[in-house]
Structure 1
């Protein structure tokens, strides 16, 4: 299936319209905090209740979602995978979506909730991992591309701290 360029805002809108509870993490979280970085996918940690996962699966079906498979097989995401504890790399007709049932350190939606902020992005009100937590997560993944953004995020945090003192 040929995919058009990513419409990650449209993907977030679809999730919000369906009332899916999720936390934005990863590159989009950095961008929403003001980082001058780019990303090609949306990373989310969804709330794991049955109703929320049903709403999430409804959005995935509506947007012709497939699992990103190196062998090129046309695999659809499963309810069991969404309810699991791993990461599911997907491609939708709106762009790539990574669903992290739990982060690499084992924390899921409930454990992360206290470390989030709501960021308004146009009409969207998004729950996003807060800047200190995002810095900690990016710095601990072990991936070079995540570690590269940490200095930018630290600079944003220092600037916000300075601004709050004025």
Structure 2
């Protein structure tokens, strides 16, 4: 298991332990879809509720660290970081998409023995377009190529 896989599996295990429903998004999600992207963090989309914020604090305590708001008050995310594990809890994904909508298009994958809800690649692509930041825009051509390739393979298999 490589380090990215270990990070995703560890984040999924901790989220499960604190009963935090989440969806893997961002470059970690794109990587699981087969895109050769580089990332240092695990992005998890969660509902923004007081209960989930408490679960994120518990997640951090299990790691022996604290919750950070790296871009407050402008961001819609919390970060938990311990050693090489960086987990960003995203409260806003795409154009204010509802968690339930993204969840309905997600799939479950096993990573390091852990079940992980994975956002669809089209949702990850649309969110990167919506974010519009240079890092996200730079990843788009590769992500779109991976999506087209997957769609062509699916057509051939039918």
Do they fold alike, i.e. is TM over 0.5? yes
Q: SS at the partner of 1:161?
A: helix
**Following superposition of structure 1 onto structure 2, how do residues 139-150 of structure 1 map, counting pairs within 5 Å?**
139-150=129-140
- Equivalent residue for 1:156, pick from 125, 136, 146: 146
Given that 1:47 and 1:53 are in contact with CA atoms closer than 8 Å, whether structure 2 keeps it comes out as: no
What is the match of residue 25 of structure 2?
A: 25
Given that 2:108 and 2:117 are in contact with CA atoms closer than 8 Å, whether structure 1 keeps it comes out as: yes
Alignment of 1:137 with 2:127, yes or no, is yes
What is the match of residue 78 of structure 1?
A: none
Q: Which whole-Å CA distance do the structure 2 matches of 1:35 and 1:65 have between them?
A: 31
Alignment of 1:110 with 2:100, yes or no, is yes
**Following superposition of structure 1 onto structure 2, how do residues 16-165 of structure 1 map, counting pairs within 5 Å?**
16-48=16-48, 51-63=51-63, 64-67=65-68, 69=70, 86-93=76-83, 95-103=85-93, 105-165=95-155
Higher helix share: 2
Unaligned runs of 5+ in 2: none
What is the match of residue 77 of structure 1?
A: none
Name the Cα RMSD after superposition.
Answer: 2.7
Q: SS at the partner of 1:27?
A: helix
Instruction: Please give the per-residue CA displacement for 1:116-159, whole angstroms capped at 9, x wherever unaligned.
Output: 12222131111111011111111221111111111111111111
TM-score, normalisation: structure 1: 0.75
Deviation at 1:105, TM superposition (A): 2.1
Q: Which whole-Å CA distance do the structure 2 matches of 1:138 and 1:26 have between them?
A: 8
